[in-house]
């Protein structure tokens, strides 16, 4: 499991035994954490069956490029995204988010890139956003 934007690496505590966890982030969070700048077009050159981007895409200037690179290297993708819902985008910029996709925009982007959406789970409704957890596989 390649965890892009690993942060405090909570995900590793929820994986089944025998699953190899590979954390990656913009800065090293622990020994063995890969340092990768997705906004600079970098992507880890590692073997993985699945990549996660939990709370990451909102901060990417070219999320489509990152999703394309993920598709070239892994067979499964799990990500969360706080989709733009309505109104002004000041809130999003205040959070440091640099893009404003609606759910339909995400679905179209994934289809263009050759990802098939397997599961969409509504996580929460926030002020002007709807947060989703989306699992995809190759088409």
Q: Which residues have a Cβ under 8 Å from the Cβ of 6 and sit 6 or more positions away?
A: 23, 24, 25, 29, 33
Write down the pLDDT at residue 128.
Answer: 75
So where are the chain's domains?
2-138
Nearest to 64 by CA among 50, 49, 77, 75: 77
pLDDT at 126 over 80: no
CATH, range 2-138: 3.40.50.150
Say if residue 22's pLDDT is above 80.
yes
> pLDDT per residue over 53-108, tens digit each?
999 999 999 999 999 999 999 999 999 999 988 778 888 999 999 999 999 999 99
At 52, give phi and psi (nearest 5°): -115, 145
Tokens 């050159």 sit on residue:
45
Alpha carbon distances (Å) from 73 to 45, 64, 94, 119: 8, 15, 33, 20
CA distance 121 to 98: 23
């Amino acid at each position: 499991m390649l965890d892009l934007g690993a942060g405090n690496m909570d995900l590793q505590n929820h994986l089944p035994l025998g699953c190899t966890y590979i954390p990656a982030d913009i800065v090293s969070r622990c020994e063995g954490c890969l340092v990768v700048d997705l906004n600079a077009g970098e992507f880890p050159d590692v073997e993985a069956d699945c990549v996660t981007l939990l709370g990451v895409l909102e901060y990417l200037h070219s999320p489509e490029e990152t999703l394309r690179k993920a598709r070239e290297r892994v067979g499964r993708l799990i990500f969360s995204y706080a989709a733009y819902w309505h109104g002004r985008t000041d809130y999003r910029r205040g959070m440091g988010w640099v893009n404003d996709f609606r759910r339909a925009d995400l679905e179209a982007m994934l289809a263009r890139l050759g990802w098939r959406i397997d599961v969409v789970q509504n996580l929460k409704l926030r002020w002007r956003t709807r947060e989703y957890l989306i699992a995809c596989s190759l088409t």
